[in-house]
Every structure is written in structure tokens, then in C-alpha cells.
Amino acid sequence: MHDIRTIRDNPDAFDAALRRRGADPVSAAILSLDETRRARIRDAEEAQAEQNRASKQVGAAKAKGDEAEFERLRAHVADSKAQLAAMQAEAADLDRQLRDLLMTIPNLPLAEVPDGKDDSDNVEIRRWGTPREMNFTPVEHFELPGVQPGMDFGTAAKLSGARFVVLQGAVARIHRALAQYMIDLHVDRHGLTETWAPVLVLPEMMEGTGQLPKFGEDSYQTSEGWWLIPTAEVTLTNTVNGEIVDAATLPRRMVAHSQCFRSEAGSAGRDTAGMLRQHQFEKVEMVSITAPDEGLAEHARMTGCAEAVLEGLELPFRTVVLCTGDMGFGARITHDIEVWLPGQRSYREISSVSYCGDFQARRMNARFRPEGGGKPEFLHTLNGSGLAVGRCLIAVLENGQQADGTVRLPAALHPYLGGKSVLGADGALG
């Protein structure tokens, strides 16, 4: 959410930043509503002061024994109370309207974010690894002989419908091993705090990280009112919701392995084959809570943490900075990491690492107390996949495929697989 004072001070700059994102300028509507709201607040404050004066006069008339004046003033105070209540209710309603409007406006991009309309305008900043030359035609993950016994889309469709999968046997074990490897790497090497949290959250938590009110159709809500998280970003970031934390506790770096749920409302017809885009999936999510002056350095650090997972798994990837038209709602800058998938002969997103500034903290009213004292300030928040487990499974299977239908597995996974290093064409580990 945006600071109304920033919009008041420089509405033209605010609108210009929104135009870079392809959004319509809204400062005029915001400032009009804000001025009406402030006028009603002033009216209510003046009415309150007048009522206080009249109340004192009632007491004075009573003390003097002037019964007629006492009754007149008492009736006036009673009338003014009703008027004051109406003014206060109108001011509160205008305040809600302003907040609701601000809640629907995306974050403003940093100056260094490249302008653009869609992913074709994203800018590559580095590559790691070289896609392996294969003397055969590589296939997609779900076409591999050893994968087919353990990746069952038919049974999943019977159980739940489209965009679900049942994993069994060796494939399920590799999937689990990947999540364990990621968590261990982030905890042991990167110093993140392993966290386990609910996957059902209150609506206010979804509002805090920006999924609500604008993107409710992208997630699932239960009949009891809870929302299923689309990512552990929601739970981890909201651990500071409504809090004032000590600066000495920053930065707070957390990581969680969780189930995630997305309706994929805007992806009809996209990636329907295989398990690239699912309604239910697992992800290892990183979240950092920092002081304002640490945010950009933490963004670079978090990107490196995500890249390290792919380096350890020997998977070629590239890192891009998203253009203004491709960034998520809450981000000021985002790095996407795209892993090479031989079966598709292309790089596909496996992680997004975003710096949000104080955008989410304002929605959550999450602040910190500076070490030298002074007024509490809003925290800065970051989030990033470290990584999407299912997509990482796809990448491991496709990059490790051999001409004979077997899959060679990365050395980093061998300890998690009882020393086994190959997925056989028969679907067994060896």
C-alpha cells in the first residue's frame, strides 16, 4: 500500500511511475477522495469541540439553577451528538474508501527496472552452465520411460480433476529429496531459519501480502473463510503483521517448505501437459524482513541463494530482471531465474525473487524500532522461491536423461537417495 503523503507531495511522479507499469494514473481520484475525507475529519473535530463547549455550558446552567437554559442547552447537546456521530461515520467511511482504493494500486518500480510490456522485454543479467549437447532428441519429463510409472496424471484426474498429479515410487522419492536438499542448503549454508506454518490463513493475511482484494480469483477460499496459501510468502511475511520489532533482530531470514494452492485462473490452455503448472504443488520459499537500508543488498543475496540451488544440482540457468510490465503486483524489482528444460528446448521460470520495499509492511502495519530510538518505521520485505520443487524435479529429470531412457541424477541428491544415482528406464532407482 502507498503512503498518501508521498502522493500528495508529488502526484505527477506517482502517476508517471504507474504509467511505466502500464497502469492508469490515479492520483487525481486519490487526492480528491483524500481532500473530502480530510474535510469531513475537520468538520467532525470542530463539531466535537463545539459539543464539549456546550456540555460545559450545560453544567454551568445547572449550577446557576437556570432550568430553562439548562433544558435548552441539554437538547442542543443531544442534537449535536447525533450530528457528530453522523459526521464521524461519514469520515470513517471515506477513510475506508481511500484505504480500499490504495489497496488496489500496484507497487512502483525502481528507476533501474527496465521499461517493457511483457516477458519479451525482460533483460538477462547472467547465465550459469551450458546446456548439455545430446546425441538424441530429448523428451519432456512426462515422456521419460522411467518417469511414467511414478507420475500418474490419470489417477490424479479421477481424484481431483485436471492439473493435479500423483507421484509414486522413485519419482516421489526424488521429489522429496529435492525439497530436503533445498531446505538443508538454505539453513546450513545460507543461514535461513527453517519455519513450518499453516497453509490456511485469515483474509487479513492475504491482504497483507497483496493477494487480496485484487487477486482473489487466483486462490482458493474454504467455506469457513480461511484461504489456502498460494505460497508460504503469505505466512512467513505476516509473522510481523501488526508488530513493532527491534532493529537488533533484523534482518529476519526465513525458509519454509510447504504445499501451495493456486487456481491458475489466468492460465487457461497454458502448460496443460505434465506437471509444470499445477493447482497443488510444493515450494521452498524464502522471506526476508529488513530495515530500509538493507533491502537492495538483501535482494541480491536472496537471488544468490536461489541460484546456488541450481548450481548445486548442476542445472543450467539464466537470471533476468523483469521489465515494468511483467512484474508482480507487490514488487519494486524482481529477478526471475529460468532453468534450462531440454524437452522444451527453452529456459523456464523456476524462481522469482522480489523486493517489495515498505509496500507490504504498510498493508500489515509492520514496523521496527530504530536502535538509536525515535519513531517506529515501516519494515521492508522480500520474498523468493528457493525453489519450486515440482519444476526442479522436471529440470533434474529432463537434464539428466540419457539415450537409453535412464536418468542420471545430480551428485548433490545421492545422499538423500541412499546413495542411488540413476533412475532406471524401468522406474527404479539404482
- Which tens digits make up the pLDDT trace of 101-149? 999 999 999 999 999 999 999 999 999 999 999 999 999 999 999 999 9
Question: Annotation-wise, does 324 bind a ligand?
Answer: no
Q: Is 229 annotated as a binding residue?
A: no
Q: Is the pLDDT of residue 401 over 90?
A: yes
Give the residue-averaged pLDDT of 16-43: 96
Best-predicted range by mean pLDDT (60-69, 272-281, 309-318)? 309-318
- 260: enclosing H helix or E strand: strand 252-261
Note the pLDDT of residue 87: 86
List the beta bridge partners of residue 284: 257
Distance between CA 213 and CA 203 in Å, rounded?
9
Ramachandran angles phi, psi of 111, nearest 5°: -60, -35
Residues in the chain: 430
In this predicted model, what pLDDT tens digit does every residue of 53-105 receive, in sequence order?
767 775 766 677 766 666 666 666 666 777 888 888 999 999 999 999 999 99
Residues 6 or more apart in contact with residue 219 via CB below 8 angstroms = 206, 211, 227, 228, 229, 230, 261, 262, 263
CATH top class, domain 119-423: alpha beta
In three-state secondary structure terms, 315 is coil
> With b meaning 16 or more CB within 10 Å and e meaning fewer, what string describes 308-338?
bbbebbbbbbbbbbbbbbbbebbbbbbbbbb
Longest dimension (CA), the chain: 108
User: What amino acid occupies position 351?
Assistant: S
Contact 309, 182 (CB under 8 A): yes
Is 74 designated active site?
Answer: no
Q: Is 277 a catalytic residue?
A: yes
> How many whole angstroms from its chain centre is CA 298?
16
Mean pLDDT of 6-25: 97
pLDDT band at 318 (very low <50, low <70, confident <90, very high): very high
Catalytic residue among 21, 163, 253, 262: 262
Please identify which of the residues 219, 288, 352, 354 carries the catalytic annotation. Answer: 352
Task: Show me where the domains of the chain are located.
Answer: 4-103, 119-423
pLDDT at 83: 83
Packing angle, helices 11-20 and 27-64, rounded to 10 = 140
**What is the per-residue pLDDT for 99?**
95
Average of per-residue pLDDT values in the chain: 94
Spot the catalytic one: 301, 349, 377, 421: 349
What's residue 128's pLDDT?
98
263 marked ligand binding residue: yes
> Each residue of 349-396: pLDDT tens digit?
999 999 999 999 999 999 999 988 889 999 999 999 999 999 999 999
Q: Judge whether 197 and 232 are in contact, CB under 8 Å.
A: yes
Tens digits of per-residue pLDDT, 324-348?
999 999 999 999 999 999 999 999 9
Residue 421 annotated as part of some ligand binding site: no
Mean pLDDT of 262-269: 76
Could you tell me the pTM of the whole model?
0.93
Residue 151 has pLDDT above 70, yes or no: yes
Q: Is 232 exposed, middle or buried (0-12, 13-18, 19+ CB in 10 A)?
A: buried
Judge whether 262 counts as a catalytic residue. Answer: yes
pLDDT at 267: 66
More confident: 176 or 59: 176
φ/ψ of 64, rounded to 5, equals -80, -15
* CATH 3.40.50.300 fits domain 4-103: no
Instruction: Answer yes or no: is 231 a known binding residue.
Output: yes
Catalytic residue among 277, 301, 369, 408: 277
Q: What is the DSSP string of 92-157?
A: HHHHHHHHHHHHTSPPPPPTTSPP-SSGGG-EEEEEES-PPP-SS----GGG-TTTGGGEEHHHHH
Consult the annotation and say whether 143 binds a ligand. Answer: no
Q: Using CA atoms, how far apart are residues 132 and 135, in angstroms rounded to an integer?
A: 10
Cα-trace Rg, the chain: 28
The answer on whether 162 is annotated among ligand-binding residues is no
Question: Phi, psi (5° rounding) for residue 392?
Answer: -65, -40
